């Protein structure tokens, strides 16, 4: 005799649905998390990513194989210039054991020699005098090239520009992420 199917669903079907839901839940949760936090168009970086473009500057060629933080400013170096130099130094130091993979470069856009006490405070930073012509290879974004700190990758490509008055902690995170995933430098 056949059993009538008028009552609740057989137990076997309920178990199968429960197992299917158990395995589908992580996939559904991951998809929702991706959509909320990493939706197309959203970025996780602080600096502005630029289309990689090679920078043909002799000082950068000497630093090839390292990530290079670059700034442009006059030799008189006002408080904004000093702050950028300080931020670049601190960002490099914050990398800890990876610090040797990061260099700093200051293109002095005029012929003015920076103060001796400033040069002592930024020891280790490459300083290139009279380098106004080098600025043409760096896109200024909003304002001028003097407003930003740039990042050049170990291959010699300009790849990122940080905003005026940058947040050092967010710059540190960007650089840490790049150093972590990079096979170069």
- pLDDT band for 33, please (50, 70, 90 cuts): confident
Query: Where in the chain are the domains?
Result: 9-42, 48-181
Percent of the chain with pLDDT over 70: 91
Averaged confidence pLDDT in the chain: 88
pLDDT digits (tens, 9 = 90+) for 109-157: 998 999 999 999 999 999 999 887 888 888 888 888 999 999 999 999 9
pLDDT of the residue at 4:
57
| pLDDT above 90: residue 5 | no
From the number of C-beta atoms within 10 Å of its C-beta (0-12, 13-18, 19+), residue 87 rates as: buried
Domain 48-181 has CATH 3.40.30.10: yes
| pLDDT above 70: residue 40 | no
pLDDT of the residue at 96:
93
The answer to whether residues 54 and 157 touch, using CB atoms and an 8 Å cutoff, is: yes
| pLDDT above 80: residue 184 | no
- pLDDT band for 166, please (50, 70, 90 cuts): very high
Q: Cα separation of 145 and 151, whole Å?
A: 12
């Amino acid at each position: 005799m056949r059993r009538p199917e008028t009552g609740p669903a057989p137990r076997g079907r309920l178990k199968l649905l429960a197992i299917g839901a158990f395995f589908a839940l992580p996939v559904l949760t991951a998809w929702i998390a991706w959509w909320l936090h990493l939706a197309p168009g959203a970025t996780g970086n602080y600096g502005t990513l630029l289309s990689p473009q090679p920078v043909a500057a002799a000082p950068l060629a000497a630093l090839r194989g390292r990530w290079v933080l670059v700034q442009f400013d006059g030799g008189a170096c006002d408080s904004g210039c000093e702050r950028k130099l300080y931020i670049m130094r601190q960002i490099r130091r914050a990398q800890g054991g990876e610090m040797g993979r990061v260099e700093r470069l200051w293109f002095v856009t005029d012929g003015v020699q920076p103060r001796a006490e400033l040069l002592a405070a930024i020891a280790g930073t490459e300083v290139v005098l009279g380098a106004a012509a080098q600025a043409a290879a760096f896109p200024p974004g909003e304002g001028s090239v003097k407003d930003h700190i740039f990042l050049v990758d170990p291959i010699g490509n300009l790849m990122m520009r940080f905003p005026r008055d940058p947040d050092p902690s967010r710059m540190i995170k960007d650089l840490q992420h790049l150093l972590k995933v990079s096979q170069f430098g």
